[in-house]
Structures are given as C-alpha cells and as structure tokens.
Structure 1
Amino acid sequence: MTIVKPIQIQVANDVLEAWNNLGVVTRAEQLKSAAEKFSGATRSMALWQLDNAIHEIGEALVLPGPTGESNVLSTHGRGPFLITAQEDQADSNLQTALVGQTFAALVAGNPVVTVGPEGQAIMDALAPFVPEGVIQNVARSAEDSLIEALDLAGIATVCDSDHAQVLYQRLANKTGLLCQLVEENDAQTLPVISAPHYILRFVTEKTVSTNTTAIGGNATLLELGSKAE
C-alpha cells in the first residue's frame, strides 16, 4: 500500500534546513517578538523557553581531543513536530502548555504543525515572525494522518498517562523515522514543560571531528600513550 505524505510534512521538510541553520540565538531573537503577542503566564512560558534554550543549547561545546583532533558538539532540530493535546483536555492552563511546547520545538530548530482552534491561535501569533512553512495548523480531523506520517520526527502533547500509552504503542508500530513522544501529564503545574532539560527532547546531537595533526600524528600519539602506561 502506498502511503501519501501529508502536505504539511512536505512543507515542513522543505523549510527544515534553512530554519535549523539559523542557529539557536537567531531563532530565539525572532521568536521573542512573537512571545510578546501573548500575555500573563503564557507570555512568561514562551520567554522562559527561549532563555532556557540559549542557556542549554545555545553554544556548541568543544570536547577533548585525546589524539590531537578537534571535536565540536552541537545540537540540531529533529524534524517536523506535531503540537497537540488530548481532545478532552479542558484545563485553563492548556494554552500555556501548548505555547511552551511550540516555542521549545521551534527554538530547537524544528518546524511545527499545530492542531485545531487552539493551535490556529498560536500559529496566527507566530506566523508573522518566522519564515513561511515553519509553523502550520491542521484541523483535529487531520491529526491521525499526521501521526502516521513516516517523516514525523516527534509529537509534543498534553495528555493523561493512558492516552500517552496508546500513542507510544502507535508510534512503536510505525515504520519510517523514529518518532519521539514528548508528553506532559499535568496541565496545571507543567512539571515536564517547565524543566530545564525539556528542550533536549527536541534536538539531536552532532559531533564534528577535525584532524588537526600531521599525517600519522594520531597513530604516533596513541603509540606514545600506550608506552606511557
């Protein structure tokens, strides 16, 4: 059976590289203007996600080079993320949760697809400040087709533990890209979304190793090291 890729996933993949290559700091600067469109706790959540991303993943790390090479560790977006919530979620804090998910995914370098009227409101606020296609919205009726998309990199959702278990099972049975589930089970206090390490759920790591020694230098250093022991 031929699986048709949702148009939203195609669009997201088309803008992924350019959005990801802007870097964390530049994306945060663009998104900060969008954060000002919200108010109260929702605005605070958006700004916190941006500040936290700069602190946690804003700079590449230079790692030790045991044999003289240069190793640089950086983070990159995983790919298209679906931002959603369990359909019967009606908590007054839901908008703050959805905004937190959206800003974390975007500042990490991922394009996002939101769902339903709540997602449309978030998209409307963000769209003027990001390149076209970086954020999209679908009707609730189209959510299942997005979940089954082979190129979907992750789902960030607000749901109870039973609903999360169902989603885990669906994703485990999928083929294609390994799809991450990033769930928040407490829409009132948001312990997951407000944790500093939350941003790490939306990135993948990349290490670039550059040989800075002369030809054969690494082998010589290894040999010297073995003799020292």
Structure 2
Amino acid sequence: MPRQPGKGDVTMTIDTVVNTHLAVWESWNALGYEARCAVLRRWAESLPVAWRAMVEYQCQQTAHQVAAVHVMPGPTGETNELYCAGRGLFVVTAAAETPAEAILGQLTAALVTGNTVVLCLPEESEVQAQTVESALTHSGCNAISAVPESMIDTLLAHPAIAGVAYAGNMAALQRLARQVAAREGALAAVIGETDVHALPVVGSPTYLLRFVTERTRTINITAVGGNATLLELGSGEPIEN
C-alpha cells in the first residue's frame, strides 16, 4: 500500500511545483499578448460554447486594457516605454458550486496577462483541474499545473506566490485573504468574485488590470556618445582603404 504523504512531503511537492513555474514564467511572460491569446483560443476550441465565450471575452479585453505600449516623454536620444507584464505565479481556486464560466474567466485572465497558474479546485467542481491542465498543455501552454485542493494551505503559504484568484463565498474569500496576509515574503494580490452568477468582477472590462504590474523600458541610443547610425557603423568589419 502506498505511503500517505506527510506534511514534509506536501511541502516538497509544492516547492517543486513553484520552482517549475518560476523557471517557465519569464518565457511565458515574454511571449506577448497576441501569442498567448492564440494559445488560449486554440484551447477554447474544444470547450462548450458558453465556456468558450468567457475565454474569448478575456482575450478580447487584452487589446483594450493591457496590450498597448505607451511611449513616454524623455530626453533627446532616449526612448521610454510603459507597458504591462504579469506578476508571476497565481493560484486559481474556487468553491465546489462555482460555475465553470467564473473559474475559466479567472484562469484565462491570469494566463493571458503573462502569469503562470496553479489550478487548485475541489474534486466535485464542474471544471476538472487535471483535464484543464492536460488540454492547455496540449495547446501549447506550459504555464499551468493542477494540484489537489488539500494542498492549498501549503501553497498559499509559499512566499513566491504573487497572487490568488478565488470565486465563491465571502467567508472563504476572507479566510484566504488572511492566510495570504500572514505569510512571509512580498505582499500578494487577492482577487475575489463572490457573485458567481452575475460575475460583476470577472466580467468587468478592467478585470485584467488586477493581474498585471506596470514596467518601464528605457532605450538610450547615445549611451556611448554617438547616435544609432554611428554605433551600427562601428560594429562591423574595419573599412579597408
């Protein structure tokens, strides 16, 4: 008979899952919004119509809310860009009675914005976490893992978790928020939806903004005292007379 995992075994398993996600996060985040949308839409083709509509809605909102790169004023010879990027590793979880549209809305929002996801759902949930992981992986997404609901307490205590998205009742949401606040490490985002039928939070046009952080990119074309043309000329073979 297989040995039942103890507390130490669970911690080791969660550490492995988290480390795997941290290793792939940079490449998934750098893939870009358009490419991530393509992966998620490919996965959604196999879903029921109502579920597919939620995935498509979140993908459509990326162009309006988070995909644009804004050029900011700067000194001559310098370009400054403001853009949105994923925060890191998110936990997506829900109460057993939560409709699939709410769960898939959370999952899609987290993934399309450049985060990796650990999906942690009750066994009796309409959405089966292992099935979702398998289908997304087959569609080209390496940024998702499924773990049993029994591991959620250890998972939320991990200092590398960037946030948790939960759909269900208010009491459970408050408990999750207290768990996340009590852990070590940087503050993590807690994103909750308690009206799982009307979905005022998940269905909001600005929902995706909860999963991103703003970054700036500076390109200085005069860093060595010349302009871009001179730098380009200086990088080739020497000119023979």
TM superposition score normalised by structure 2: 0.80
Q: Is the 8 A contact 1:35 1:43 kept in 2?
A: yes
Looking at structure 2, the residues matched to 169 and 70 of structure 1 have their Cα atoms a distance apart, in angstroms, of 42
Alpha carbons of 1:72 and 1:96: their partners in 2 closer, same or farther (altered >3 Å)?
A: same
What are the within-5 Å matches in structure 2 for residues 4-153 of structure 1?
6-65=15-74, 67-68=75-76, 69-86=78-95, 89-91=96-98, 94-116=99-121, 117=123, 118-132=128-142, 134-153=143-162
| Corresponding letter in the other structure for 2:145 | Q
4+ residue runs over 4 A deviation: 2-5, 211-216
How many residue pairs are counted as aligned between the two chains?
Answer: 209
- Structure 1: unaligned runs, 5 residues or longer: 217-229
Could you say which structure has the larger radius of gyration? 2
Looking at structure 2, the residues matched to 214 and 203 of structure 1 have their Cα atoms a distance apart, in angstroms, of 30
Aligned to 2:205: 196
Alpha carbons of 1:215 and 1:115: their partners in 2 closer, same or farther (altered >3 Å)?
A: closer
Secondary structure of 1:196 counterpart: coil
| Corresponding letter in the other structure for 2:137 | A
Secondary structure of 1:181 counterpart: strand
Secondary structure of 1:194 counterpart: coil
Shift of 1:56: 1.5
Alpha carbons of 1:149 and 1:212: their partners in 2 closer, same or farther (altered >3 Å)?
A: same
| Corresponding letter in the other structure for 1:126 | L
Give per-residue Cα distances to partners, 1:162-183, cap 9 Å, x unaligned. Answer: 2222222211111113211111
Q: Is the 8 A contact 2:39 2:141 kept in 1?
A: no
Between Structure 1 and Structure 2, which shows a larger proportion of helix residues? 1
After superposition, the CA RMSD in angstroms is 2.1
- Structure 2: unaligned runs, 5 residues or longer: 1-7, 226-241
| Corresponding letter in the other structure for 1:101 | Q
Looking at structure 2, the residues matched to 214 and 123 of structure 1 have their Cα atoms a distance apart, in angstroms, of 46
Give per-residue Cα distances to partners, 1:43-73, cap 9 Å, x unaligned. Answer: 10001111111221122111233x4442201
Structure possessing the higher relative contact order (Cα contacts under 8 Å, 6 or more residues apart): 1
* Residue in structure 2 matching 1:180, options 189, 199, 202: 189
Shift of 1:130: 2.5
